[in-house]
Amino acid sequence: MTAPIVYPLAGKRVYVAGHRGMVGSALVRRLQREPCDIVTVERGQVDLRHQAAVGDWLNATRPQAVFVAAATVGGILANDTRPAEFLYDNLVIETNLIEAARRAGVEKLLFLGSSCIYPRLAPQPMPEDALLSGPLEPTNQWYAIAKIAGLKLCAAYRAQYGCDFISAQPTNLYGPGDKFDLAASHVVPALIAKMHHAKVTGAPSVEIWGTGTPRREFLHVDDLADALVFLMQRYSEDSHINVGSGEEVSIAELARAVGEAVGFRGAFHYAADKPDGAPRKLVDRARLEALGWRASISLREGLDDAYRWYRAAADRAA
């Protein structure tokens, strides 16, 4: 059974913060199928790290619903080597948007977190109440602390001001609009870019960071956007809620799947000097599935789609 719509988006002005990013652009694509009015603003016009600019923009625009998809994001190496940016940018962006949304009388806000909020050795699959039950994974603790603060802000604003602010915690994401720069990217775009490069140059092998044994759950960003629109309309609880696909693979298995999608038939060389990160990250989807939502894009289909997008973007750049 599907949970009823408690907050219809029909006729609403909906602000997507972070619309140039992978998640924000997927949200805009998904919202174009709803009878709502989508508003966005460019970074050059409003820097979300500047409190007054954010307040002025929201007061002038008066959206009724807000998706907070704006964030400084990156893969394991970017997180580990740029801790100040990951902590500061994310804290200040979410704080500015959430406080300005309250002041501007926003009716509903959805804040986007990450499965790295859970302890490094959380029980698997990770239920929502595993939050703050143990130490964080060191490679992404800075980002995790900022995301924990964001979800707690939503709960605090609900408790003190009665704001209908919710938060969703997605598992590892990939898809169109991803970052393919190897110093900043997550594993899926990194492997697509490396294997494509090896295929066209005839290189015999590609480097895979770490041991290949960590396990990750991957969700296509279009599935995530669909889940976020679903939650915006049908979820209004105090607790954050997980969004996952249930498709969990080891990094070695992922490398083979990306190899098939790209058509790379060479060898993999594992670089043990690079971090593995958390041994496993699979979110518990029971709460979301009880509301009636499930992912629909398989990892194999999703990788084909991501690779098509990567080639089209490379053609456009050339």
Interacting residue ranges for ligand GFB, rule: CB under 6 A: 75-77, 79, 114-116, 140, 143, 172, 185-187, 190, 208-210, 214, 216, 251, 274-278
Give the whole-angstrom CA distance, residue 318 versus residue 315. 5
Strand partners, 243: 170
Give the shortest CB-33-to-ligand GFB separation in angstroms.
26
User: Amino acid identity of 196?
Assistant: H
> Measured from the CB atom, is 171 or 233 closer to ligand GFB?
171
Our answer to whether residue 143 is catalytic in this structure is: yes
- Closer to ligand GFB by Cβ: residue 63 or 75: 75
Q: Smallest distance, Å, CB 8 to ligand GFB? A: 31
Residue pair 187/303 in contact by the 8 Å Cβ criterion:
no
Select 76 or 122, whichever has its Cβ closest to ligand GFB. Answer: 76
Q: Is 132 helix (H, G, I), strand (E, B) or coil?
A: coil
User: Which residues are within 8 A (CB) of 215 and not within 5 positions of it... i.e. 6 or more apart?
Assistant: 248, 249, 250, 251, 279, 280, 281, 282
What is the distance between the alpha carbons of residues 124 and 281, in angstroms, rounded to a whole number?
A: 7
- The answer to whether 36 touches 14, Cβ cutoff 8 Å, is yes
Place of tokens 């394991």: 76
Work out whether the CA dihedral 39, 45, 46, 52 comes out positive or negative: negative
How far is Cα 148 from Cα 129, in angstroms, rounded to an integer? 13
- Tokens standing for residue 2: 């599907």
In the bound state with ligand GFB, the residue whose beta carbon lies nearer, of 209 and 235, is: 209
How near is the Cβ of 112 to ligand GFB at its closest, in Å?
A: 11
Q: In which residue are the tokens 């940018």 written?
A: 89
DSSP classification of residue 283: B
The CB-of-214 to ligand GFB minimum distance in angstroms stands at: 4
Closer by beta carbon to ligand GFB, 55 or else 83: 83
Nearer to ligand GFB, 9 or 144 (CB): 144
- Give the residue nearest to ligand GFB (CB): 75
Quote the least distance from Cβ 233 to ligand GFB, whole Å.
25
Selecting among 143, 235, 307, 310, the annotated active-site residue is 143
DSSP assignment letter at 115: G
Q: How far is the CB of 178 from ligand GFB (least distance, A)?
A: 11
Q: Which residues are catalytic?
A: 143
